[in-house]
Structure 1
Amino acid sequence: MAQTTGAADPEVDTVHLRPFTPADLEAAHALSMEVQWPHRPEDWRFVAALGAGVVAECRGQLVGTAHCWKWPDRRATLGMVIVAPPMQGRRIGAQMMRALLDDLAQFDVSLHATAEGRALYERLGFVALGEVRQHQGTARPAPLAAMTPGLRLRPLGRADVDRLVALDAAASGMARGEAVRALIADAQGIVLDRDGEPVGFSLLRRFGRGYAIGPVVAPDASGARALIAHWTSQCAGRFLRIDVEAGSGLGDWLEDQGLNRAGSVEMMTRGTPPRRGPASGLYALINQALG
């Protein structure tokens, strides 16, 4: 995968790409801190272990990263695309993206783009589909959320895992069972249950400055609010983050729980888009990298 850019700028001519390795985690974390991303080293290890990536090096220093995650249904996601601020504007991001996309010709590929990155992704054939909104802040205890009659919340059990993997696949449009199983092993979970059968769930994990909720899968908005309210109450007084579909209808309610809107990204796809979102049961992402 190693290659040298062909641009005329002599500084860019010193940049080459190679595969990401575990030995790059420390430098990648430092790079994400440089662009003020909240990821801890543990957050980097989690996402890197599930996929593959490339790094850009300049004169022996890591100046860029990009990762991809392949799922068995010929779908993939891209993320963790970072270029060191002094090197931005020199097409390094495009070089890394093309290196990853060369290996994904047979895949339908999704990503979440910042406003700054959208033009690059459009040039690479991605089409914008909808908005994802980041909410975060110091959580407040939530009042008991009303749910559809017949539903109840209960702790996640080991016997639930296969069913939750299936629920996530139907809601996200991607067979990303490996990621969901790894997340369940590392997170706390709550299940939305109907007559002993899981119909939704949400997970809480350590992330960045505090904790993150995601994914949230539910049959309706009231179920999603109940799943989220469980964690906002448990995490009251702590920093909490959640990334929700713009069409979820949860924005104002999340602000009432102390989770103010902190930004947004655009979901973009090259190829056939996955069928996902509140209509399919997905109310909140795992994160912006994995979807």
Structure 2
Amino acid sequence: MTTTYTAITCRPMREDDLPAALALSQAVRWPHRPEDWQFALRLGTGFVAEEDGAVAGTALCWHQGAHHGSLGLIIVAPAHQGKGIGRRLMHLVLDQLGDRCTVLNATVAGQPLYESLGFRAIGTLHQHQGIFAPPAASAGPRARPATAADIPAIVALANRGTGMVRDELLKHLIGVADGAVLEQDGAVTGFSLIRPFGRGHVIGPVVAADAACAQALIATWGDAYAGAFVRLDVTGSSGLGEWLAQAGLAEVDTAVTMARHGVPAQDATVRQFAIVSQALC
């Protein structure tokens, strides 16, 4: 699909657009690496806005099963803001998702646009990052390294914790991440993944029954990643903010979680404390 308005043209994103997309994210001070952009595009569908052959904006979306989706990496070059590019790109990704229940994480600047397109606020997201210095282990639950045999349980927990079908996303994440799980009576009851991202590593998703279990799943990475730059994006209801700050991961930004065409129906017994990324949710 191609649409044209004055000198701006929108078209599907290709892999050879990724260097320009990276430059856009750097212009707005987002930390994505080339590998992060490549991972996001290969999992989903993207569009770019061009002016005179130069990329001026991007937008990507991802199907999360037959009934849900997410979108993100909505970026407009600072020099091109105010021209309606963001709205046009949004229409393209929303057309891809159709009537799916769609989730995104909005900046304060982007929230009015998303509200005008039918999204409503359903929560907040808090970005924590810094040099990882987890507190000494408590007497609570202890995680163990995940194995290939744990993958079906990890995928099932990811689906239950978000109310979306995450099989394809988790399959790709597990290919680039290390994992840890909690067990009770021989059953996997929670998990966390850690992978390279941005300036260092990101821990997410973290899915667990309660905050104590989520802390155990985060703290388990302390030995391997103490002194490293680590990021987590946790939900406003996680209750982990103070503990993360004590672990060297200060809160540096807040986003508004928004949904359109309903809200994912999450499991009451397990939830996602830290997300995959602000785009993939």
The DSSP-based 3-state class of the residue aligned with 1:244 is strand
User: Displacement of 1:234 after TM fit?
Assistant: 2.4
- Aligned in 2, Cα 1:48/1:145: closer, same or farther, shift over 3 Å? farther
The DSSP-based 3-state class of the residue aligned with 2:143 is strand
**How far apart, CA to CA, are the structure 2 residues paired with 1:277 and 1:4?**
44
- Residue 169 of structure 2 is matched in structure 1 by 179
- Residue 2 of structure 2 is matched in structure 1 by 2
- Aligned in 2, Cα 1:279/1:198: closer, same or farther, shift over 3 Å? closer
User: Displacement of 1:120 after TM fit?
Assistant: 0.2
Q: Does 1:190 align with 2:183?
A: no
- Residue 281 of structure 1 is matched in structure 2 by 271
User: Displacement of 1:278 after TM fit?
Assistant: 8.5
User: Displacement of 1:137 after TM fit?
Assistant: 0.5
- Residue 8 of structure 1 is matched in structure 2 by none
Alignment RMSD, CA only? 1.4
- Aligned in 2, Cα 1:276/1:245: closer, same or farther, shift over 3 Å? farther
Give the conservation status (yes or no) of the 8 Å contact 2:160–2:267.
no
Structure 2: gaps spanning 5 or more residues? none
One-letter amino acid of the structure 2 residue matched with residue 109 of structure 1:
T
Alignment of 1:37-52 (within 5 A): 37-52=30-45
One-letter amino acid of the structure 2 residue matched with residue 25 of structure 1:
L
User: Displacement of 1:272 after TM fit?
Assistant: 1.2
One-letter amino acid of the structure 2 residue matched with residue 169 of structure 1:
N
Question: How does the TM-score come out when normalised to structure 1?
Answer: 0.93
One-letter amino acid of the structure 2 residue matched with residue 125 of structure 1:
G
- Residue 91 of structure 1 is matched in structure 2 by 84
Which of residues 2, 16, 20 is equivalent to 1:23? 16
Which of residues 202, 207, 217 is equivalent to 1:212? 202
- Residue 241 of structure 1 is matched in structure 2 by 231
**How far apart, CA to CA, are the structure 2 residues paired with 1:207 and 1:251?**
21
Percent identical among aligned pairs is 46
User: Displacement of 1:277 after TM fit?
Assistant: 8.8
Structure 1: gaps spanning 5 or more residues? 6-12
The DSSP-based 3-state class of the residue aligned with 1:103 is helix
- Aligned in 2, Cα 1:33/1:64: closer, same or farther, shift over 3 Å? same
One-letter amino acid of the structure 2 residue matched with residue 38 of structure 1:
P
- Residue 69 of structure 2 is matched in structure 1 by 76
User: Displacement of 1:279 after TM fit?
Assistant: 6.3
Query: For structure 1, which segment, 232-241 or 62-71, has the greater mean C-alpha deviation from structure 2 after superposition?
Result: 232-241
**Residues 208-228 of structure 1 deviation map (CA, whole Å, 9 limit, x = unaligned):** 111100000111111000001
One-letter amino acid of the structure 2 residue matched with residue 261 of structure 1:
E
**How far apart, CA to CA, are the structure 2 residues paired with 1:205 and 1:20?**
25
User: Displacement of 1:100 after TM fit?
Assistant: 1.4
**How far apart, CA to CA, are the structure 2 residues paired with 1:2 and 1:215?**
35
Which of residues 99, 109, 123 is equivalent to 1:106? 99
- Aligned in 2, Cα 1:19/1:197: closer, same or farther, shift over 3 Å? same
Which of residues 128, 135, 139 is equivalent to 1:135? 128
**How far apart, CA to CA, are the structure 2 residues paired with 1:67 and 1:224?**
29
User: Displacement of 1:146 after TM fit?
Assistant: 3.5
Give the conservation status (yes or no) of the 8 Å contact 1:141–1:232.
yes
